[in-house]
Amino acid sequence: MAQWSTEPAGALVRSAQAFARNARREQFWRSPLIGFRDPRYWQILSLAVLLAFGLCALGFDQSPVSVAAILCCALMVQWICCKAARLLHYDPLSALISALSLCLLLRAEQLWVLAAASVLAIASKFLIRCNGKHVFNPTNFAIGVMLLSGMAWISPAQWGSRTWLAFLLSGLASLVLSRAKRAGVALAFLATFVGILFARALYLGDPWAIPIKQMQSGALLVFAFFMISDPKTTPNQRGMRIAFGVMVAVLAAYLQYVAYLPQGLMYALFFASPIVPLLDHLCAVPRRYQWSKPTV
Amino acid sequence: MRIPIGLAALAASVLAAASQASAFCGFYVAKADAKLFNRSSKVVVARKDRRTVITMASDYEGDPKEFALVVPVPTVVTREQIRITDNHLIDHLDAYTAPRLVEYFDHDLCAYQNRITLAGSSLPASLAAVPADREAALGVKIEAQYTVGEYDIVILSASQSDGLSTWLTEEGYRIPSAAAPVLGSYIKQGMKFFVAKVNLQEKSRLGFQYLRPIQVAYDTHKFMVPIRLGTVNADGPQDMVVLMLTANGRVEATNYRTQRIPTDVDLPVFTRTEFAKVYKALFDTQIKQDGMTAVYLEYAWNMAWCDPCAADPIPNDKLVELGAFWLGNTSTGRSIRSFGPLNVFVTRLHVRYDGKKFPEDLMFQETADTASFQGRYVIRHPYKGPITCPLGEDYQKLLVPRLVQEAQTLARLTGWEPRAIAESMRNAGQPISVDPARP
């Protein structure tokens, strides 16, 4: 479902040269300066602080070299793809969010696996598209592919409860700062998932300490605030978005607590994402949401 | 040249020392008010795909007739899926993976000799017939009943926790009242119960003085070690060492933080004879710092090699006996290579837990991580020969801050008083001064 087709190499080079010449005039770099009203700055800040804390204090199995590799690959691929897709507007913010989320979640022994995940994440935005939207959340796509390959893993429990609380507050603040559209799907997901955890505990006769412990996963929060709430990969219609959040939560709880897949969350969104274009088709509404125009 | 100094015998004592109290995956129950001795528990879990082989050992020292074990299992297990194995196999794997102390000897720089000697050392590291209608009335079903080795084993399924509690109590098991909700939770999750008691006749016929570990194999998606029942009647936190054998890579907990134990640090020379004490204090300090919320990684390594080896390598047929079924099958006569490169990765996890901080059973996942890790502590013996050149004098100048650094490291890791450390170092011929202004 590639939106753009490959051009002859010469045309690409000419286009790139023209791009470089006109970069300033066409405000190629303008997006980072749009203003700090963009909620993504807040998201980047909270992800970066969390990553720094995780690396320094929580002993995340992620080396600074891996972090650098993931960030560089993501920004580079975003830049190349922007040019190749002839976008006048290079927007590093969403790539940065994807890359930081990857740094927080994905672990691999070999550096190239992480670099490949980063490339996959960003490239998927440009290559796997439908109705002008990318189908998969970039981070989720890369994690899904890498988990299926068996070369990488995620460590969902590597967070202390205090860190988790701080992150929860930061994530909620981020939701408040951002538009309501993002909040709806994240809150629907969180409410359903947490509701299932407590209902399960009630059914099993378990103490509340168990669902509270199960909630305290950093992966759950990164998932809710930065993956499922990605405006580009959620249904356009509000009711559908809520239904999508609920559906992913039910699937995730099933995979995690019935099929005993510790990465149930990631797989749930990974397998549910291709349904979004169908939901959009069933319930077409005029697209209203735009970041600051031509973001991918 | 590497010289193992053979402290393997200490392995068990350190484990015991590092534990305050302990239990099994399940819990021990007694028929009478007999005192239970259950200081530490060791579990070996071998897993590939869905096939899981769990071997449970304990240092139970009480009267065999008081011994009882209740462990939730995901499926009904048949007679062929239960084996009784030997303690020494688990002890061997325990010693092989235990945190270790290594020692080096500084050489005479003046003689331009490069003979560095590394010394590696191991460390530390028949149920009464009950009328069937009674069971039906209680909602308890005996799925299977076997005598294996010195044990009488019953596999139970139940439809209600109260019925199961009543049945167990009527059968002479002392069930704490708080266990009922936990049993209820397992029942609703479709788990069965593996209940073992010692068959005294078989035990005396077989002639074993101690209780041998029980090994159970089953297929399940649940990669877990049940700890909840063990916390119900526990008197304080318990220690458990989980030794994981997998085909691909390191194992980590998915519902509790897995943290690496501090490693590769230089310690004062006097710790050579006190390493068990040092490691116990180090572990206690770590638990205190983290608020007893983590599972600690003490060893992760491919079984094909070790460096330094804390115990003799384990032959492949012994690994199969420990549960690494994918290496081959001794009973079918398929040949197994004695030693050498193989796809068995061992992960040693050490957890101290209680019901409050660890409300949920331990859940695990196998990762693709094959990087080697070990709890390794180093002592460096200073060169004591005559100094005959300026290079040697420089070495002596650097020695003082090095000793201070070693003392500080020990104080930081163990929480011991710097003055007491300085005293021990002085007694060992390494006098350092302690700054009274510094804690």
Note whether B347 and B413 are same-domain residues: no
Yes or no, beta carbons of B185 and A205 under 8 Å apart? yes
Domain limit, last residue, from B381, B411, B426: B381
Residue B31, in any domain of the structure:
yes
Task: Write out the two tokens for B439.
Answer: 């804690």
Query: Does A110 lie in the same domain as A22?
Result: yes
Q: Do B184 and A204 touch (CB under 8 A)?
A: yes
| Burial bucket for residue A8 (CB in 10 Å: 0-12, 13-18, 19+) | exposed
Residues contacting B148, CB < 8 A, separation 6+: B79, B82, B83, B84, B214
Residue finishing a domain among A154, A186, A209: A154
* Burial status of residue B263 (CB atoms within 10 A of its CB: 0-12, 13-18, 19 or more): middle
The reply to whether A181 and A146 lie within a common domain is: no
**B106 shares its domain with B30:** yes
Q: A153 vs B369: CB contact, 8 Å cut-off?
A: yes
Residues in A closer than 8 angstroms to B368, CB to CB, are: 108-109, 150-153
Closest CA to B81 of B206, B219, B186: B219
| Spatial distance between the Cα atoms of B292 and B290, rounded to a whole number of angstroms | 5
Q: Are residues A180 and A232 in the same domain?
A: yes
Nearest to A153 among B222, B359, B367 (CB): B367
Query: Is B101 domain-assigned?
Result: yes
- pLDDT for residue B362: 94
Using a CB-CB cut-off of 8 Å, the residues of chain A touching B223 are 260
User: How many Cβ contacts (< 8 angstroms) between chains A and B?
Assistant: 74
Q: What percent of chain B has pLDDT over 70?
A: 80
A145 and A26 housed in the same domain? yes
- The pLDDT confidence band at residue B48, using thresholds 50, 70 and 90, is very high
Give the Cα separation of B173 and B67 in Å (integer). 10
Residue B294 lies in a domain: yes
Comparing B203 with B8, which gets the higher pLDDT? B203
Contact (CB<8Å) A157/B221: no
Residue A192 sits at the vertex; the CA angle it makes with A188 and A196, to the nearest 5 degrees, is: 175
pLDDT at position B5:
31
Between helix B10-18 and helix B275-290 the angle, nearest 10°, is: 30
| Residue range B88-105: mean pLDDT, rounded | 87
Residue B326 has pLDDT above 80, yes or no: yes
Which has the closest alpha carbon to A151: A104, A99, A116? A116
Instruction: Say what the pLDDT of residue A285 is.
Output: 62
Tell me the pLDDT band of B350, cut-offs 50, 70 and 90. Answer: very high
- B364 forms beta bridges with B253
Q: Are residues A113 and A183 in the same domain?
A: no
Is residue A234 assigned to a domain?
Answer: yes
Distance CA B150, CA B429 (A): 53
Compute the nearest-CA separation of B102 from chain A (Å): 25
Q: Do residues B39 and B66 share a domain?
A: yes
Same domain, B421 and B298: no
* CA distance linking residue B251 with residue A10, whole number of Å: 51
- Structure letter (DSSP) for residue B340: S
Distance from CA of residue A81 to its chain's centroid? 18
Nearest to B82 by CA among B192, B215, B191: B215
Q: How far is CA A63 from CA A68, A74, A106, A109, B163, in A?
A: 9, 17, 12, 10, 53
Mutation for testing the A interface, residue in B254, B286, B293 having most A CBs under 10 Å: B254
Structural domain boundaries, residue B275 = 2-125+210-381
Verify that A144 and A247 share a domain, yes or no: no
Pair A13, A149 in one domain: yes
pLDDT at position B105 is: 81
Among the ranges given (A3-17, B136-150, B381-395), the one the predictor scored with the smallest mean pLDDT: A3-17
Number of domains in chain A: 2
Given A154, A175, A200, the domain boundary residue is: A154
Reported as a single tens digit per residue, the pLDDT across B32-41 is 222 233 457 8
- Give the per-residue pLDDT at A4: 40
- Closest CA of chain A from B117, distance in Å: 32
Mean pLDDT, rounded, for B227-256: 88
Among residues A35, A38, A39, A50, the alpha carbon closest in space to that of A173 is found at A39
Residue A4, in any domain of the structure: no
Examine the domain organization and report whether B374 and B402 are in the same domain: no
Shared domain check, A174 and A129: no
Same domain for A125 and A212, yes or no, is no
Q: Which pLDDT score is estimated for A13? A: 54
pLDDT, residue B333, reads 44
Question: Looking at residue B12, what is its pLDDT?
Answer: 31
Q: What is the pLDDT of residues A150-162, one digit of tens each?
A: 999 998 888 777 6
Which pLDDT score, from 0 to 100, does residue B132 have?
60
Q: Which residue matches tokens 């290496």?
A: B327
pLDDT at B378: 87
Considering the domain architecture, whether residues A79 and A131 belong to the same structural domain is answered as: yes
Q: Which of A108, A125, A154 is the last residue of a domain?
A: A154
Which of B257, B347, B351 to probe the A interface (max A CBs under 10 A)? B257
Give yes or no: residues B322 and B433 share one domain: no
Phi, psi of A108 (to 5 degrees): -150, 155
SS3 A242: helix
B260 to chain A: closest CA residue: A59
B292, B395: one domain: no
The count of other CB atoms within 10 Å of the CB of residue B408 is 15
What value does the mean pLDDT take over residues B335-357?
A: 79
**Is B369 in Cβ contact with A109 (below 8 Å)?**
yes
B370 with B278, same domain?
A: yes
Within this chain, do residues B335 and B438 fall inside the same structural domain, yes or no? no
pLDDT in tens, B189-202: 989 999 888 888 88
| Residues in chain A closer than 8 A to B248 (CB atoms) | 150
Residues A148 and A190 in one domain: no
Q: Whole domain around residue A234: which residue ranges?
A: 161-282
Question: Tokens 């050579």 identify what position?
Answer: B272
Looking at residue B42, what is its pLDDT?
87
The pLDDT tens digits of the residues spanning B142-192 come to: 888 888 888 889 898 888 888 888 888 887 777 777 888 899 999 999 899
Do A159 and B368 count as a contact with CB atoms less than 8 A apart? no
**Displacement of CA A279 from its chain's centroid (Å):** 20
For residue A247, give how far its alpha carbon lies from the nearest alpha carbon of chain B (Å). Answer: 23
A264: in domain: yes
Nearest CA in chain B to A156: B254
What's residue A14's pLDDT? 59
The pTM of this model reads 0.82
Is residue A2, in this structure, part of any structural domain at all?
no
Query: Which residues contact residue A162 at a Cβ distance below 8 angstroms, ignoring those fewer than 6 apart?
Result: none
The CA distance from A269 to B86, in Å, is: 46
Chain B residue nearest residue A60, CA to CA: B259
Whether residue B187 lies inside any domain: the answer is: no
**Residues B230, B300: one domain?**
yes
Nearest to A158 among B222, B249, B257 (CB): B257
pLDDT of residue A22: 56
Average pLDDT value for residue range B299-306? 89
User: Helix and strand tally (H, E) in chain B?
Assistant: 11, 22
Whether residue B317 is found in the same domain as residue B390: no
- In a domain, residue B151? The reply is no
**Residue B339 domain-assigned?**
yes
- Among B221, B223, B293, select the one facing A160 at the smallest CB separation: B293
Note the pLDDT of residue A192.
Answer: 96
Distance CA B163, CA B139 (A): 6
Closest CB to A205 among B181, B254, B257:
B181
If asked whether residues B354 and B414 sit together in one domain, one would say: no
Domain count, chain B: 2
What is the nearest CA distance from B210 to chain A, expressed in angstroms? 36
Residue B373 has pLDDT above 60, yes or no: yes
Q: What is the pLDDT of residues B62-90, one digit of tens each?
A: 777 777 788 889 888 888 899 888 888 88
What does the mean pLDDT of chain B come to? 78
Q: Which of A108, A151, A207 sits opposite B359 (nearest CB)?
A: A207
Cβ contact (<8 Å) for B253 and A61?
A: no
Kindly determine whether residue A214 and residue B360, on different chains, have CB atoms separated by under 8 Å: yes
Closest CA to A220 of A186, A170, A173: A186
Closest of A184, A182, A205, A200 to residue A250, by C-alpha: A200
Q: For residue A224, what is the DSSP state?
A: I
Helix (H, G, I), strand (E, B) or coil at B352: strand
Provide the pLDDT for residue B39.
56
Give the closest residue to B353 by CA, choosing from B437, B415, B272, B296.
B296
pLDDT, position B117: 34
